[in-house]
Copies of this chain bind each other. A is one copy, B any other.
């Protein structure tokens, strides 16, 4: 059970966290803070938050748990603003898609009080943003990755894990560096690639003709290019080093494939395509096995 929970950023991520805790009656009071007064008003209307705080002092008074669910570039200034009002019982966490930069920002802003900050990243999203997109079951069955700091007390980490588990998430732990390398490959690079493709097509002189014939495969491939540009600019810059590494590996892969295509090397092309298809099939089967209900208990003769 949580007393006062403070949400910085009342959009899809923060709003869904608040709704999940409220639906389970696990929070006494949710207070929202945000840059956008329309979003705050909407979050109040929708029952995502119970009240708004006008100052960091008001927000942080008697706070039990604080979730920062704003674009990652704002983490340091938000933490700097709350530091003077940070009470000893308060645990602060975040939902940023990058972690090394968030940890650096937290150390810079909080100093020794960084011990009260447990970095996190719930792996969930939708094509829509904003308070209207928030739903209580966004995190059910999804992973929440915590990247605890050496300074964190175990009971603080446990408190944040409890909150995400209450939202239905499965808790994982990685180091901030591991986290960023993993998500550069499986999330940040695909976003950049999807944005790049749509922008490339949109700039062609016959863009209208092209979009007219784009079908469901294109729609799925580019779904992630429907995400917030500001958020993904911040993520790209925050995880620049790992993302550049993944992008370079991918550029090398595409250059190899270009050579195979130019040489009409059908056997080698087939081998790349077939390897990808099989790897993806194994991955889908592993996901589906993990999501399947457990088998009924076996009767034994012993």
Interfacial residues of chain A within 225-252, with CB under 8 A of chain B in the complex:
225-230, 232-234, 236-237, 240, 243-244, 247-251
Residue A280 lies at the interface, judged by CB distance under 8 Å to chain B: yes
How would residues 257 to 288 of chain A score, 1 for a CB under 8 Å from any chain B CB and 0 otherwise? 11001101010011011111101110110110
**Set of chain B residues within 8 Å of A2, measured between Cβ atoms:** none
**Set of chain B residues within 8 Å of A244, measured between Cβ atoms:** 258, 261-262
Cβ B199 vs Cβ A186 within 8 A: no
Chain B nearest Cβ from A166, distance in angstroms: 20
Cβ B197 vs Cβ A189 within 8 A: yes
Residue A53 lies at the interface, judged by CB distance under 8 Å to chain B: no
A contact patch SS: helix
Chain B nearest Cβ from A73, distance in angstroms: 8
8 Å CB contact of A221 from B196, B201, B223, B236: B223
Residue A154 lies at the interface, judged by CB distance under 8 Å to chain B: no
Instruction: Write the chain B residue with the least CB distance to A269.
Output: B233
* Chain A positions near chain B (C-beta within 8 angstroms): 123-125, 142-143, 145, 172, 178, 181-183, 185-187, 189-204, 206-207, 209-211, 213-230, 232-234, 236-237, 240, 243-244, 247-251, 253-255, 257-258, 261-262, 264, 266, 269-270, 272-277, 279-281, 283-284, 286-287
CB<8 Å pairs between A and B, sample of 20: A125-B215, A125-B217, A183-B213, A186-B215, A187-B215, A202-B279, A207-B279, A211-B279, A211-B286, A214-B283, A217-B223, A220-B221, A222-B276, A226-B280, A228-B277, A233-B269, A234-B266, A240-B262, A244-B262, A247-B254
